[in-house]
């Protein structure tokens, strides 16, 4: 009985100190909660008492609970009235508080910029699946079965689905598109790709590419040179010095590499592979290589972002470090 008297005093003191509806609700759970409430536990102790004790203590407990609920209700009405009064006197003309807003990740910003530039050059944006078949990723692009790219140490194959893999480049989307559309057309294909790479400052297991493809009756490398020079100039917001040198890719013939001179230096850096679409690829999608031709190109989105914003390590893009993200 002494414990019950002290409990009433404890509850009264807690109610006196409570200044918010949230705190009041927490107090209610503490004393009246169905599972862990202090009063609830006291009622659970009644079966252990004798019949006479049950009558005496049970009656006191019921009266105590009723009195405490009245005190709680009174406090609730008081705090609710105070809150409504504060809202009624809120000055809507006061300046708002500065709230930090989110923004697009730097890779999303660069992706958006690339799309906008090529849209201005009359290229449509096309997307495709990240899980591909061996046919679209290799066979249709004139990559033979003995090519190193098919080795398990370069490609992430799916154990659950034979002949399926995580695409190693965005070029399969070109094949999908050509099988469903007739020339002439010009498309840009941005997207994520996957390679079984050792991660370091310039390599990641997953990264982003953007592919370009233009097919028509008389499309040639001179057209490509104009398009890609326009792209670089607009992307870096200044005239970019570019050079084209011979190379080899199974899906283009002839093939070239594109280098640009790094800003403020004499250094050259390879940023893109390109070439005229191989006749075998055109035949595979149902085109006549004697009537249509075109160029294809592909580059790394992260690499261009690293050059433009002077970012030294590709791993920063995927670190989730707000100190890096907030800079852009």
- pTM beyond cutoff 0.75: no
pLDDT in tens, 249-278: 999 999 999 999 987 788 899 999 999 999
Residue 189 has pLDDT above 80, yes or no: yes
The domain limits of the chain are: 2-88, 106-325
Task: Single out the residue of 235, 211, 168 nearest to residue 297, CA to CA.
Answer: 211
Model pLDDT for residues 143-161, shown as the tens digit of each residue: 988 877 677 668 888 988 8
Strands 185-194 and 124-125: parallel
SS3 (DSSP) at 99: coil
pLDDT at res. 152? 61
Q: Supply the DSSP symbol for 327.
A: T
Q: Which residue has the tokens 């708002």?
A: 96
C-alpha distances in Å from residue 177, one per residue of 117, 125, 130, 182: 21, 11, 15, 9
Query: Is the separation of the CB atoms in 33 and 65 below 8 Å?
Result: no
In the Cβ-directed half-sphere of 35, how many Cα atoms lie within 13 Å?
Answer: 0
**Phi, psi at 240, each rounded to 5°:** -110, 130
What is 106-325's CATH superfamily? Bira Bifunctional Protein; Domain 2 (3.30.930.10)
| pLDDT bucket at 123, cuts 50 / 70 / 90 | very high
107-129: average pLDDT = 95
pLDDT, position 239: 92
């Amino acid at each position: 009985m002494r414990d019950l008297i002290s409990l009433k005093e404890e509850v009264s003191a807690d109610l006196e100190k409570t200044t918010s509806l949230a705190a009041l609700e927490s107090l209610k759970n503490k004393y009246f909660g169905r599972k862990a409430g202090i009063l609830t536990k006291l009622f659970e102790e009644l079966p252990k008492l004798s019949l006479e004790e049950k009558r005496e203590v049970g009656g006191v407990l019921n009266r105590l609970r009723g009195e405490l609920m009245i005190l709680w209700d009174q406090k609730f009405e008081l705090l609710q009235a105070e809150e409504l009064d504060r809202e009624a006197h809120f000055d809507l003309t006061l300046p708002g508080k500065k709230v930090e807003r989110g923004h697009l990740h730097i890779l999303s910003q660069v992706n958006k910029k690339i799309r906008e530039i090529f849209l201005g050059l009359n290229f449509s944006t096309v997307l495709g699946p990240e899980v591909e078949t061996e046919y679209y990723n290799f066979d249709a692009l004139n990559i033979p079965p003995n090519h190193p790219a098919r080795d398990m140490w370069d490609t992430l194959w799916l154990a659950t689905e034979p002949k399926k893999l995580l695409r190693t480049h965005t070029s399969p989307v070109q094949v999908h598109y050509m099988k469903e559309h007739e020339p002439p057309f010009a498309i840009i294909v941005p997207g994520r790709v996957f390679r079984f790479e050792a991660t370091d400052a310039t390599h990641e297991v997953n990264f982003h590419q953007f592919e370009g493809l233009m097919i028509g009756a008389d499309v040639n490398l001179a057209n490509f040179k104009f398009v890609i020079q326009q792209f670089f100039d607009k992307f870096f917001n200044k005239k970019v010095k570019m050079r084209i040198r011979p190379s080899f890719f199974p899906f283009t013939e002839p093939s070239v590499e594109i280098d640009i001179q790094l800003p403020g230096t004499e250094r050259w850096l390879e940023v893109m592979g390109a070439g005229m679409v191989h006749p075998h690829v055109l035949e595979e999608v149902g085109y006549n290589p004697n009537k249509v031709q075109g160029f294809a190109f592909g580059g790394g989105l992260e690499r261009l972002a690293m050059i433009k914003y002077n970012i030294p390590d590709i791993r920063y893009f995927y670190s989730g470090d707000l100190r890096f993200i907030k800079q852009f």
